[in-house]
């Protein structure tokens, strides 16, 4: 199937006879593969008698050589999958099997992509970026403090580098454009965080997606904001560059070095919010973040700090 897709990805018409000859199969076998591309990958294919078959939109597939061509320095080892359950899950499997970190897992499609709090991450084929960076953490919990917030800053810098405007952050793990979600971040740990462990930094960016009825919240994509498709190989290289820079700062100085700039980028700074922790809800005003990345809120005139992986923040007037 991937061989057929590589023949069609230029967006031009190809006859069934030419496709069959290139693949070494019959025209009926080509037809079956085309049906599979449409049904399984949700790709739209034009079929015109006398001209052949054409993808409705050209595709640029993820490719290690292309990523390396855009990279300013040697790239992390990168594993690219056509389809996988979850890049985070594969990163955890590779780490458990002894793959040296750091390394990156990418996929054209996720069949069981995960967001925070057990939510599904919608992952259409070859439209968005599903990126997991696996790091080895030596030296305990300090290196994990505020880590997801640092990743958010790196993503924000990346989107700005491509010309996306009005990008900001929402505590703890979202990147928004004009209030619409463009990126989600999910961190998962393997091992003992007090000693030696691995952390998987999962990043999902809406890149070229223009419509998807499955998404149940306000969203946007880089293509929607820029008015043109984005080369995801270029995006991987620029994102890796910003991650490497910001993670290096974090290792040296801790999250306290990021506190002020993160607060400046936080879209809900000073806003009335509701913090949700399971069945508990706390209302207050966002005061900022502390030196460990916890959320500072003024609750009934008293400042309190909240941190934890299962917390969710909502604007108080957000229905």
User: For the chain, which residues make up each domain, given as ranges?
Assistant: 2-55, 64-263, 268-315
- Residue entry with tokens 């703890």: 172
Q: Is 86 assigned to a binding site?
A: yes
Q: Is 110 assigned to a binding site?
A: yes
- List active site positions: 116, 181, 314
pLDDT in tens, 3-46: 888 888 888 899 889 998 998 998 888 888 888 888 877 788 88
Q: What is the dihedral of CA 114, 124, 149, 228, to 10 degrees?
A: -170
Residue 266, number of CB atoms within 10 A of its CB: 20
Domain 268-315 indexed as CATH 3.20.20.80: no
Query: pLDDT above 90 covers what percent of the chain?
Result: 61
Backbone angles phi, psi at 81, to 5 degrees: -120, 145
64-263: CATH topology is: BirA Bifunctional Protein; domain 2 (3.30.930)
How is residue 99 written in tokens?
């793959």
For residue 203, give the DSSP letter: E
Q: Is 132 assigned to a binding site?
A: no
Q: Are 181 and 217 in contact (CB under 8 A)?
A: yes
- pLDDT-derived band at 319, boundaries 50, 70, 90: very low
pLDDT in tens, 108-161: 999 887 765 556 667 788 899 999 999 999 876 778 899 999 999 999 999 999
Helix (H) or strand (E) holding 118, with range, is none
Domain 2-55 indexed as CATH 3.90.1010.10: no
CA distance 192 to 197: 5
Q: Is 115 assigned to a binding site?
A: yes
């Amino acid at each position: 199937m991937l061989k057929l897709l590589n023949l069609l990805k230029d967006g031009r018409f190809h006859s069934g006879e030419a496709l069959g000859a290139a693949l070494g199969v019959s025209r009926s076998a080509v037809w079956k593969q085309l049906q599979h591309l449409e049904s399984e990958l949700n790709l739209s294919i034009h079929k015109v008698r006398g001209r052949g078959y054409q993808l409705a939109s050209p595709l640029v597939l993820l490719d290690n050589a292309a990523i390396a061509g855009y990279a300013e320095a040697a790239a992390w080892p990168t594993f690219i999958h056509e389809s996988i359950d979850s890049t985070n899950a594969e990163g955890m499997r590779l780490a458990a099997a002894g793959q040296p970190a750091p390394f990156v897992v990418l996929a054209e499609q996720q069949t069981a992509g995960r967001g925070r709090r057990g939510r599904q991450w919608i992952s259409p084929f070859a439209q968005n970026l599903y990126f997991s960076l696996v790091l080895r953490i030596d030296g305990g919990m300090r290196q994990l403090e505020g880590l997801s917030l640092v990743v958010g800053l790196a993503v924000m810098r990346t989107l700005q580098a491509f010309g996306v405007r009005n990008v900001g952050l929402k505590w703890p793990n979202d990147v928004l454009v004009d209030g619409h979600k463009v990126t989600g971040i999910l961190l998962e740990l393997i091992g003992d965080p007090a000693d030696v462990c691995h952390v998987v930094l999962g990043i999902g960016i809406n890149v070229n997606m223009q419509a998807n009825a499955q998404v149940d919240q306000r969203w946007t994509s880089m293509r929607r904001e820029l008015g043109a498709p984005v080369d995801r190989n270029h995006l991987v290289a620029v994102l890796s560059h910003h991650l490497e820079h910001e993670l290096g700062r974090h290792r040296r100085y801790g999250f306290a070095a990021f506190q002020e700039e993160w607060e400046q980028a936080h879209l809900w700074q000073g806003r009335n919010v509701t913090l949700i922790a399971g069945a508990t809800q706390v209302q207050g005003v966002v005061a900022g973040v502390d030196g460990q990345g916890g959320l500072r809120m003024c609750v009934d005139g008293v400042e309190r700090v909240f941190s934890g992986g299962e917390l969710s923040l909502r604007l108080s007037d957000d229905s």
